Amino acid sequence: MLTRIDHIGIACFDLDATVEFYRATYGFEVYHSEVNEEQGVREAMLKINETSDGGASYLQLLEPTREDSAVGKWLAKNGEGVHHIAFGTADVDADAAGIRDKGVRVLYDEPRRGSMGSRITFLHPKDCHGVLTELVTSAPVESPEH
């Protein structure tokens, strides 16, 4: 079952400048940043709020690290802006299978590693009224060691 909007992905040409815009304009700070070599992006996650299921909602800012990445190609065609919406789920495998059974194309046969150790897959935008849709199962929160 989808439980929340996990994040909204925003493609940008200059990650540092875009982060500064969101910090200066809205007061959002970077919660996490990383480079995902597999997907060819450098990203920053800006935490917006906590959610009732123990997760959070974020803005994910994405700068391509190479022109042939999915985000690089998207930027070349569309320019900066909203790239995708991601819904949180406790079980990305089960939800992807259930959605596939309803006739929606799931882009990965097996979920892949996403931001902050999450597991992700995408749904084809042509099957989702033009919206690239991501399903996300967050990585387990580790308990602090005592």
Question: Active-site residues: which are they?
Answer: 7, 43, 60, 84, 134
Q: For residue 31, count CB atoms less than 10 angstroms from its CB and return exposed for 0-12, middle for 13-18, buried for 19 or more.
A: middle
In angstroms, how far is CA 83 from the centroid of its own chain? 9
CA distance 98 to 129: 18
Contact 69, 40 (CB under 8 A): yes
- Strand segments, DSSP code E, in 37-130 are 41-50, 56-64, 81-89, 112-113, 119-123
